[in-house]
Structure 1
């Protein structure tokens, strides 16, 4: 027997208890293999030996037809009886050295790890691969007393594995909406080592359509691996078309076109925002020509999702967390852009924990925040939070901060301030329009997020109207989201400049009303005339 060369991309761990009612295990297995599962582990915690062997044997027969290797969870005797490619063991199962003696040099041995110390031990004892987790809470096993690693914890272990040749898969709470975040955010900051794959149970086994579920996961992992080989714009993981003209003039032309798209298409923008700014957010949405809808109930937001153009989630008052969880998941499922505004994320532990929970359930398209908020997400010590405001000297290199965070989070990052910085992880733009009055009215930053959401919806609609020009139509989110973010920033800040120059504006109160007027009256030509954009990279 020769040790099998394994593709760990989509590693299915079986769990018959998760099958939908009426779904046959072997039927589900074959459909998942057709969808792109690359490795199967037979996990039978409650079966007796005879039943386990029979399930493993029949599983191997199905997998052999697709040239997909099979591993056995824990039971070396079952592996030997069936002749599978290897075994997977836990920390309290048979030690790796003894397992190696029993299974021989050519069998694959994998082990579950959740700590740095366990990673070192796996290296020393000669594991072929490790299963790292749990990343997030999962219903497949009891992890209530275990610390969730999160993507960064996975990255710490990947750093240790760098250069060892040991393969890695992550497991625990992984599903399509949070997969991109996991893949990018877990890349080791030191060795640049990354995951070789993901281990999945319920997202495939519990699906009524396991073929489609497996295919979606396989496509995303495959895109990630291609991106890591060539290191282009990380947004390519979504297949997002970026046929923009990467010059200042080209970007401004793109912004002008999106302004026209908003007025022509009047996109519906779902806004889950804080209670302080609901009225203002609705008014600025209407002023530029889009249509707002404010809804928070989980059932309502699920039903709305197919109809909307984009979703804004601003958790300034965090009173609708359950609705935010559902809305974000549905937006990912329906391929709608999500703008996430993590208001005052660094101010309290509850806000930080809520952000982690939300981002473990869905993948944002654009994250917008001030220096304190972006600093908290980037784990920077250069700025701090005081309520919703930033304190400190500011970032020494804001362009580098947004670029790095965009690559890590696999989304567009918008840093607002005296100047605004926008990056997709490859390009960094600096926009320098605006007026000091913006800092004197409540919800100014929240309204910026609202307009970014409007233009994200417009960019998606613009893409759909021209999609015959693109080859890849399998995008999770369609449209040029860097341009959408820039459009929201420019339109809001240029309108602020024009409003502040009006003779009837005497201070913040009159400025607020004038701002809505000027958003309503703003023309693409005015934006072109006033736009102050610098390309930093």
Structure 2
């Protein structure tokens, strides 16, 4: 059959053993195609030849109805018997040059690669596409003892494909919450190559609603591809936003200091009128202060960490903060973050001292493989560790050294890579969505003298992110976005700016009080001033610089 051009966007690898109880394979397959699967690989590790051929034949019949090509895993004889578009082989299967001789020049051949050397060999042997993996640990394949590539390792392999014409999909542990991180984080460092699609097994096959699962994944991949093609990353097309969170606009003429201050004032009023519930999985040292600052700005705190409890709470909260200063409830963090993604709640991640120990680095990687944060907040050491920069070292929870030479560039690049708002706190605060950088210069030296000031800043970002979502939904038609499960409605850049600005302006006022004699009296005064802060005061004191 003539060679065809494949769309690798949502590449379904079948696995009948993973179907949920009572779900028929062919029913699940058709529903997944209706949801947006663009390519199907029939993978049957335990079937005899006759059964494999029958499964492949019926699979192709269903896929033909939707004009979706079918590939066969490993078995050249099954491909020839059924007349599929091609095959996919692994490193220990039939050698690619021999496979090409057997199936002819027009059939598609894909090859699994795990490292740079295997990728180079696939290019030399003229594979049509490669499957890069595993990205993260997965239940559907044996990854025990094998190093997972992660988005960075995937990106290094993608660099080798520049100008080769070889397409690439990633496989392994990919699901809805971590997909934006993979797509953005795997953009190759040298040539900015990106994935052509993702190979999915359990996230679709194990779903009771494969059509919805496939549709949600397809929406993210399509949005990413539109953003890559567009000169303006945040252009709106057909009612679907190409960013990982809804924004209001980024018009340089309208996006001014006065506009920002006015919008922060609006969110202050929203918080006091709506009192959203903010779940905070935070470290034990700061729980009381974090709850108090939440109340002071008008929101309502809850500090739930139990996995069952956070699962049930997620639909009702306004935002979720995950601060792993004391990491003793990792399962709760995994569930809380994933449910925040599922329920489209702003998710704020504060990776306290992430660069201080291997345990913290590994835990951060594990959490980020489970869910996608909306905002990542940290000091210079924490953001440096997340950005894999050697400019700033970690000394416990503090940063050591003189700081970044260009902090704006660091946060902007990390925001693009992580598909999240990045907040770098310090004597001056830098916030970026990957498109622009906001520099805030308010604050008091007392903040660095009290325990948990950075944690409280994360709390206020969560509060104002919740307010931004509420404000957006109050002004817009929620039904337009009800099926766009990857989107967090509201301007999350604005929520982060408001949280930091309110906190730092209040700290200035508290430090100026005559009854403040040092860090102890400052702590109490800070909560008072957060409670008493007015929009007029924000307008008078805000020190904002917008950088494009």
Provide TM-score, normalisation by structure 2.
Answer: 0.97
Q: State the Cα distance separating 1:161 from its structure 2 match.
A: 1.0
- Once residues 286 and 535 of structure 2 are traced to their aligned partners in structure 1, the CA distance between those partners, rounded to angstroms, is 26
Match of 2:521 in 1: 510
- Contact 1:241–1:470 at 8 Å: present in 2 too? no
Structure 1 range deviating more: 140-149 or 417-426: 140-149
- Once residues 37 and 241 of structure 1 are traced to their aligned partners in structure 2, the CA distance between those partners, rounded to angstroms, is 28
Q: State the Cα distance separating 1:470 from its structure 2 match.
A: 9.6
- Once residues 356 and 521 of structure 1 are traced to their aligned partners in structure 2, the CA distance between those partners, rounded to angstroms, is 39
- Once residues 33 and 285 of structure 1 are traced to their aligned partners in structure 2, the CA distance between those partners, rounded to angstroms, is 45
Match of 1:146 in 2: 146
Residue from 339, 357, 370 that aligns with 2:366: 357
- Once residues 195 and 133 of structure 1 are traced to their aligned partners in structure 2, the CA distance between those partners, rounded to angstroms, is 12
Match of 2:318 in 1: 309
Match of 2:26 in 1: 26
Match of 1:491 in 2: 502
Q: Equivalences for 1:180-195 in 2 at 5 Å?
A: 180-195=180-195
Matched, 1:526 2:537: yes
Q: State the Cα distance separating 1:471 from its structure 2 match.
A: 5.7
- Contact 1:239–1:472 at 8 Å: present in 2 too? no
- Contact 2:244–2:420 at 8 Å: present in 1 too? no
- Once residues 420 and 63 of structure 1 are traced to their aligned partners in structure 2, the CA distance between those partners, rounded to angstroms, is 52
- Once residues 475 and 451 of structure 2 are traced to their aligned partners in structure 1, the CA distance between those partners, rounded to angstroms, is 38
Residue from 420, 429, 437 that aligns with 1:428: 437
- Once residues 211 and 417 of structure 1 are traced to their aligned partners in structure 2, the CA distance between those partners, rounded to angstroms, is 46
- Once residues 239 and 330 of structure 1 are traced to their aligned partners in structure 2, the CA distance between those partners, rounded to angstroms, is 16
Match of 1:404 in 2: 413
- Once residues 80 and 243 of structure 1 are traced to their aligned partners in structure 2, the CA distance between those partners, rounded to angstroms, is 53
- Contact 1:341–1:367 at 8 Å: present in 2 too? yes
Provide TM-score, normalisation by structure 1.
Answer: 0.99
- Contact 1:313–1:341 at 8 Å: present in 2 too? yes
Match of 1:262 in 2: 271
Matched, 1:9 2:9: yes
Match of 1:110 in 2: 110
Match of 2:89 in 1: 89
Q: State the Cα distance separating 1:141 from its structure 2 match.
A: 1.2
Match of 1:337 in 2: 346
- Once residues 386 and 418 of structure 1 are traced to their aligned partners in structure 2, the CA distance between those partners, rounded to angstroms, is 17
Match of 1:227 in 2: 227
Match of 1:170 in 2: 170
Q: State the Cα distance separating 1:469 from its structure 2 match.
A: 9.1
1:505-536 deviation line (CA, Å, top 9, x unaligned): 11111000000000000001101110000012
Q: State the Cα distance separating 1:232 from its structure 2 match.
A: 2.9
Q: State the Cα distance separating 1:427 from its structure 2 match.
A: 1.2
Match of 2:50 in 1: 50
- Contact 2:247–2:492 at 8 Å: present in 1 too? no
Q: Secondary structure at the match of 1:105?
A: coil
Q: State the Cα distance separating 1:476 from its structure 2 match.
A: 2.1
Root-mean-square deviation (CA, aligned residues, Å) is 1.1
* Unpaired stretches in structure 2, ≥5 consecutive residues: 235-240
Matched, 1:480 2:491: yes
- Contact 1:42–1:71 at 8 Å: present in 2 too? yes
Q: Residues 469 and 327 (structure 1 numbering): CA distance in 2 closer, same or farther, change over 3 Å?
A: closer
- Contact 1:72–1:79 at 8 Å: present in 2 too? yes
Match of 2:237 in 1: none
- Once residues 144 and 416 of structure 2 are traced to their aligned partners in structure 1, the CA distance between those partners, rounded to angstroms, is 31
Q: State the Cα distance separating 1:236 from its structure 2 match.
A: 3.0
- Once residues 531 and 282 of structure 2 are traced to their aligned partners in structure 1, the CA distance between those partners, rounded to angstroms, is 21
Match of 1:127 in 2: 127
- Contact 2:469–2:490 at 8 Å: present in 1 too? yes
- Once residues 31 and 309 of structure 2 are traced to their aligned partners in structure 1, the CA distance between those partners, rounded to angstroms, is 33
- Provide the aligned length of Structure 1 versus Structure 2: 537
Residue from 447, 454, 479 that aligns with 1:445: 454
- Contact 1:233–1:425 at 8 Å: present in 2 too? no
Q: State the Cα distance separating 1:241 from its structure 2 match.
A: 2.7
- Once residues 129 and 186 of structure 1 are traced to their aligned partners in structure 2, the CA distance between those partners, rounded to angstroms, is 17
Match of 1:101 in 2: 101
- Contact 1:113–1:131 at 8 Å: present in 2 too? yes
Matched, 1:160 2:160: yes
Q: Secondary structure at the match of 2:370?
A: coil
Match of 1:240 in 2: 246
Q: State the Cα distance separating 1:392 from its structure 2 match.
A: 1.2
Q: State the Cα distance separating 1:463 from its structure 2 match.
A: 1.1
- Contact 1:399–1:421 at 8 Å: present in 2 too? yes
Q: Equivalences for 1:273-422 in 2 at 5 Å?
A: 273-422=282-431
1:44-86 deviation line (CA, Å, top 9, x unaligned): 0000000000000000000000000000000000000000000
- Contact 1:461–1:479 at 8 Å: present in 2 too? yes
- Once residues 470 and 232 of structure 1 are traced to their aligned partners in structure 2, the CA distance between those partners, rounded to angstroms, is 25
Matched, 1:535 2:541: no
- Once residues 468 and 28 of structure 1 are traced to their aligned partners in structure 2, the CA distance between those partners, rounded to angstroms, is 32
Q: Secondary structure at the match of 1:221?
A: helix
- Contact 1:232–1:426 at 8 Å: present in 2 too? no
- Contact 1:110–1:129 at 8 Å: present in 2 too? yes
Q: Secondary structure at the match of 1:165?
A: coil
1:299-323 deviation line (CA, Å, top 9, x unaligned): 1110110100000000001111010
Q: State the Cα distance separating 1:502 from its structure 2 match.
A: 0.7
- Once residues 476 and 273 of structure 1 are traced to their aligned partners in structure 2, the CA distance between those partners, rounded to angstroms, is 25
